[in-house]
Structure 1
Amino acid sequence: MTAPLLVGDQMTGGYGHTTILNGCSIALAQGEIAVIVGPNGAGKSTAMKALFGMLTLRSGSVHFEGEDITSLSPEERVSCGMAFVPQTQNIFTTMSVEENLEMGAYRRREGLGETMSQIFSLFPVLKEKRSQKAGELSGGQRQQVAVGRALMTRPKLLMLDEPTAGVSPIVMDELFDRIIEVARSGISILMVEQNARQALMIADKAYVLVQGANRYTDTGQALLADPEVRKTFLGG
């Protein structure tokens, strides 16, 4: 068994007096694609924020590469090798594509050109539009900028919150293809996705959350084949 890269164990927490996560556990290994799916209000995005240190846990823990990072700030977790792309407000709209990518590498001092070349290879349209303001791009292209900027940190784990929200089915398929490419390079992917069926198709590991707790955990293919999961969460 490969040692897990990230483990969120029995995470419980929420906002104010409202509890959103109820003993939720998430784990994935290096190079894996793991997805979190479930109905609206299930705590999917909250689980991601807890793993990235944007939510203080009332109980439970988060470990990264075997180290307890429960008390670390999001910035400290970036230094550990984690990168997080929120669903909205994830680019600098008045800055160019290239400037957005450079902002992703503000903590680095070397190898920027090489990493940017890799991102332009992954997302050729960004090279074409490198001097254009990011706010002028289509929704799918903006998501590519956001993912590219996160990759500029050279993370070990890329966390994506609803990366295909609001994009066309064709763009969604393209984004999923690029996500698979990133995982093949050895970077782990943890993704919250409303397009559950499509996300499960590319998932090595999948978690179905309901009311902040784990309802099903298995491979993506196994959950796609599960009649109860299909009936309850995938529309039959």
Structure 2
Amino acid sequence: MSEKYLIGDKMSGGYGRGPNILHGCTIACDKGEIAVIVGPNGAGKSTAMKAVFGMLDVREGAVRLGGEDITGLSPQARVGKGMAFVPQTNNIFTSMTVEENLEMGAFLREDDMKDSMEQVYDLFPILKDKRRQAAGELSGGQRQQVAVGRALMTQPTVLMLDEPTAGVSPIVMDELFDRIIEVARTGISILMVEQNARQALEIADTGYVLVQGRNAHTGTGKDLLEDPEVRRTFLGGT
């Protein structure tokens, strides 16, 4: 079986000189696929994503993108390779306008970014209406749209989202998930950490349930939703 486009393979590591938080953890995502990382609080979900993006030391294992070992690359270098990361908080420039935020996403590009800007506005029409408004004045859901839109301005092949629906209403969450599906349909790999596990697994091609930095369950989103142990332990169902 061929390897997926992005893979954090058997990763063990932690922050600085601290103990390992990840223990042989594997996370992978193919082109056009939505991979979701779920699990209890403190399971290492965001840590696994940060490891894939180069934000902590991977002491064992490797990260590969399109078959290339990128384990030793900085996060900035990974952006240059086509990876975009949207953190959960502090992910927009609040004093800048919506359009200025999007322009900041294209800082590495030397080509014309107008088409990309229009694609973001097509995906998130409300941002076009508010493009002259300070991003800090927007609602929580609209701020998340700005953050995702700015990441898309880098023309990534991989979009990584850390808790994209944190603090937003169920209606806004459903809308964000719909937009994420649209992005994946363009061929971009989506790797997402999400607390709303049931809803996230409903849109996931692949789901990873982590417990204490280890893979506890891996499968399609549908399979995990139907797994009795996953339902009982992580989804609050029987």
**Range into which the TM-score falls when normalised by the shorter chain:** over 0.9
Partner of 1:139: 140
Q: What is the match of residue 235 of structure 2?
A: 234
Query: Where does residue 14 of structure 1 map in the other structure?
Result: 14
- Report what 1:127 is aligned to: 128
Paired residue secondary structure (2:57): coil
Deviation of residue 4 (structure 1)?
A: 1.0
Is 1:23 paired with 2:24?
yes
The secondary structure found in structure 2 opposite 1:95 is coil
Change in Cα spacing, 1:2 to 1:125, as seen in structure 2 (3 Å) is farther
Secondary structure of the residue aligned to 2:88 is coil
Give the alignment of 1:1-236 within 5 angstroms: 3-15=3-15, 16-236=17-237
Aligned-pair distance for 1:18? 2.4
The number of residue pairs the alignment matches comes to: 236
- Aligned residue for 2:92, secondary structure, equals coil
Would you say the 8 A contact 1:2–1:29 is kept in 2? Answer: no
CA distance in structure 2 between the aligned counterparts of 1:95 and 1:213, rounded to whole angstroms? 40
Deviations 1:151-193 (A, max 9, x none): 0000000000000000000000000000000000111100000
Amino acid in structure 1 at the alignment position of 2:141:
G
Deviations, residues 183-211 of structure 1 (Å, cap 9, x unaligned):
00111100000000000000000000000
Q: For 2:72 and 2:46, locate their aligned partners in 1 and report how far apart those are by CA, in whole Å.
A: 19
How far 1:19 moved relative to its partner? Answer: 1.8
Structure 1 counterpart of 2:200, which letter? A
Once the two structures are superposed, what CA deviation does each residue of 1:88-135 show, in whole Å capped at 9, x if it has no partner?
000000000000000000000213000000000000000000000000
CA distance in 2, matches of 1:78, 1:141: 24
Q: How far apart in 2 are the matches of 1:118 and 1:2?
A: 32
In 1: Cα distance, 2:185 partner to 2:58 partner: 32
CA distance in 2, matches of 1:34, 1:7: 11
Q: CA deviation at 1:227?
A: 0.6
For residue 166 of structure 2, give the secondary structure of its aligned residue in structure 1.
Answer: coil
Letter in structure 2 aligned against 1:34 = A
Report the residue type matching 2:173 in the other structure.
Answer: M
Which ranges of structure 2 fall in alignment gaps of 5 or more residues? Answer: none
Distance 2:2 2:129 in 1: 39
Query: Matched residues, percent identical?
Result: 73
1:64: how far off? Answer: 0.3
1:84 aligned counterpart, secondary structure = strand
SS in 2 for 1:93: coil
**Which residue identity is paired with 1:13?**
G
Structure 1's unaligned 5+ residue stretches are: none
Task: State how far apart, in whole Å, the 1-side matches of 2:9 and 2:2 are.
Answer: 17
- RMSD of aligned residue pairs (Cα, Å): 0.8
